[in-house]
A and B are shown apart, each in its own frame.
Chain A
Amino acid sequence: MSLLRLENINTFYGGIHALKGVTLEVNEGEIVTLIGSNGAGKSTTLKTISGQVKPKSGTILYNGKDITNTPPHVTAFDGIAHVPEGRRIFPRLTVKENLEMGAFSVKDRKVIEERMERVFHYFPKIKERLHQKGGTMSGGEQQMLAIGRALMMQPKLLMLDEPSMGLAPIIVEQIFEIIHELNEEGMTILLVEQNAFQALQIAHRGYVIQTGEIVMTGPGQELLVNEQVREAYLA
């Protein structure tokens, strides 16, 4: 069953037609990746889903519910966690407070503690830095914190916007491993990446977006060996 479905979404930035009739689907339990070059509309797609940007036309269905014009704090409450591009850690909140922000809608202190323990299980490094300010951490640590913060929401759908951006290859490797692990444990993931090779390797299905249009879709392994994809994104 599809957890998320975009139908013919058109989004504009002023006069710029950023998404031209995007249709895509994420099924429960899948990793779906959206790949494409800079400015193709990958981030805009995620922002449109979470409600940061309003589409001009089209519908977004989540869990059978129309969330096309839902503001971001409500989509988040409904279970869609969006880890934005550039991680966007709160720089002057401590690491612990950053995590607590992720569980802002949770009132029960005990639930928050439990979720935090789970985040430490995935990212043991975070635990050592709880009382440090978020802005003082390295890029890789910030990315882990950003994902950890999203996990604090215990989302049904985790959307990641270029988690590999600007990170050393070994860190990228670690992060993709954790994404894979999260999925194995049942988390549905929509992954936006410029690093097409890494993304397609762990994805069940992929979409290729070019200047705001979905130009190709198929299973991850298939796209990985596709001539056009190889030439444009894997060369």
Chain B
Amino acid sequence: MIEQVLHTLPQVLIDGLALGAVYAIVALGYTMVYGILELINFAHGEIFMTGAFVGTAILLTFSGLGWITSMPAIITLVLVLIVTSVLTGLLGMGIERVAYRPLRNAPKLITLITAIGISFLLQDLVRFITELKNGNYILTGPNLFNKQIGIEASSILSVFNDASVKSSFFIVLGVAIVMMITLDFFVNRTKWGMAMRAVAQDRETAALMTVNVNKVIALTFFIGSALGGATGVLFAVQYGTIDPYIGFILGLKAFTAAVLGGIGNIRGAMFGGILIGLLEMFAAANLPIVSHGVLGAEYKDVFAFAILIIVLIFKPEGLFGKVTVEKV
């Protein structure tokens, strides 16, 4: 049995890393907004989904114009990433302005329900527009990076099976890492990043330091949503087919990743995302083997959410979180 698990390990690691990188960046959006507003922005999964659709729509337009073949794929991708992240960033900022800011002083539950409402709204809006334009709400984009690359893992250790990777894997992972490093630098090393942390720790006092708190919150939503939207593009590039409901489960898992890393903690979210991605792929590959076929690969979702429950029971502050003392 162990041998069988080891056979698939190289492939599991590769697929897990790609998925984990996606979770990690979406988790960043949850954790940033939670850190600053103590709001679980359930619409964030839908921002990711919207990004996937916007990106695919741009790619389809490009390919209609015949640009895809005439431009290097990487330049096309960078272009699409930039346009999409600006658009979804503005979308996130708009949502905050219209839906959350008027509720800034309302009980948390009300804002949470609003977030769920926004999430449904975005799903249906995207579905409506896609059906109108396309006749079908499931969309398959052009394949930018579809070269299969074989990795001879068996030459490292004979028990491993060879793995294969789509070339998009390297793109997804590379872009994800660049985004994470950039965000980490921004938050920890720049003036506005410092203002963001200050607002998260004590909004009232930050305002006394001449910080325009509304501006900082808007900026947080812009960055979180821009990253989320860009990740949607990466998802579409890696997995090809998208529908308006991809944001729901993926959002929940990214949220799980954020909780796992300690919600509000940016590095924690990155780590949690990668870990959930790896665990999920590991479960998908090995559950049928370990359970002798009783549990199918589709139980991987149960696996991810079982982690959420276990973390909430035994370490509710997350792996990197700090225990918060309720102020009286």
Contact = CB atoms under 8 A, between A and B. Distances in A.
- Do A and B truly interact? yes
Interface in A83-105: 84, 88, 90-93, 97, 100-102, 104-105
A77 interface: yes
B198 A71 contact: no
Contacts of A84: 204-205, 208
B211 A90 contact: no
Interface in A48-88: 50, 52, 71-74, 76-77, 81-82, 84, 88
Interface stretch (B24-32, B146-154, B177-185, B189-197): B189-197
Interface residues of B, number: 17
Given A71-B207, A72-B207, A73-B207, A101 B212 contact: no
B209 A102 contact: yes
Nearest to B327: A86
A91 B210 contact: no
Given A90-B197, A92-B197, A101 B204 contact: no
Given A73-B212, A73-B213, A101 B207 contact: no
A105 B201 CA distance: 19
B67 to A, nearest CB: 42
A115 interface: no
Interface string A104-117: 11000000000000
Contacts of B197: 90, 92-93
B201 A153 contact: no
B209 A153 contact: yes
A149 interface: yes
B3 interface: no
A50 B208 contact: yes
Interface in A121-165: 149, 153
A28 to B, nearest CB: 22
A153 B210 CA distance: 9
